[in-house]
Amino acid sequence: MKTLIACGAIVAACCLPMVRAADDAKVTVEKSAARKSPDAAAQTLLAHNVYFALKDNSDEAKKKFNESCKKYLSQHAGLVFFAVGSSIKSPGQFNDKDYDISLNMMFTNKAALETYARSEEHQKFIAENMAGLKGVKVFDADVERVSVPDEKK
């Protein structure tokens, strides 16, 4: 199994302040050496991790929220990784248990994240889901993509 770098996504007003009034041009998806070849040098990416607490955290509500994430957030220029799922409520001492949904996104750079935050699809996602949120935590970080070996069977 490959180790995946968790990254994440959005929500309402948390993303809007980071949007610069600058350039509204389309993001050019960068094709780095690291994406062309698994043996290439490391690549710097922007991890966007978002953890949602839902007012209704029933299995049905979680499934509906996950589907909304996939519908509106998974197809953006500059997005190189997307994952969404429900918390497994691990008993670990350092595990945060105050969320229901984890949204993990990896962008080519900050400009790609900013364009995503302004996108019509992102705004639709916010409009559709904001009323059902109890809380949101957003973590953004510059990360280095590093090749990992495949799991041996």
CATH number at residue 129: 3.30.70.100
Residue 80 falls within a domain, yes or no? yes
Does residue 71 sit in helix, strand or coil?
helix
Confidence of residue 146 (pLDDT cuts 50, 70, 90): confident
Does residue 51 sit in helix, strand or coil?
strand
What is the pTM for the complete model shown? Answer: 0.70
Q: State the average pLDDT over residues 18-33.
A: 34
Q: State the average pLDDT over residues 26-45.
A: 48
Domain that holds residue 48: 1-16+43-88+101-145
Residues 31 and 129: beta-carbon distance below 8 Å: no
Residues 64 and 125: beta-carbon distance below 8 Å: no
What's the mean per-residue pLDDT of the chain? 78
Read off the pLDDT of residues 61-90 as tens digits, 9 standing for 90 and up.
999 999 999 999 999 999 999 999 999 978
Residue 54 falls within a domain, yes or no? yes
Confidence of residue 26 (pLDDT cuts 50, 70, 90): very low
Separation of alpha carbons 12 and 76, rounded Å: 17
Block residue for tokens 């220029």: 77
Residue 29 falls within a domain, yes or no? no
- Tokens representing 139? 């973590």
Residue 23 falls within a domain, yes or no? no
Residue 31 falls within a domain, yes or no? no
Residue 71 falls within a domain, yes or no? yes
Residue 34 falls within a domain, yes or no? no
Residue 33 falls within a domain, yes or no? no
* 42 vs 142, higher pLDDT: 142
Separation of alpha carbons 25 and 15, rounded Å: 18
DSSP class per residue in 1-24: -----------HHHHGGG--SS--
Domain total of the chain: 1
Read off the pLDDT of residues 95-118 as tens digits, 9 standing for 90 and up.
888 999 999 999 999 999 999 999
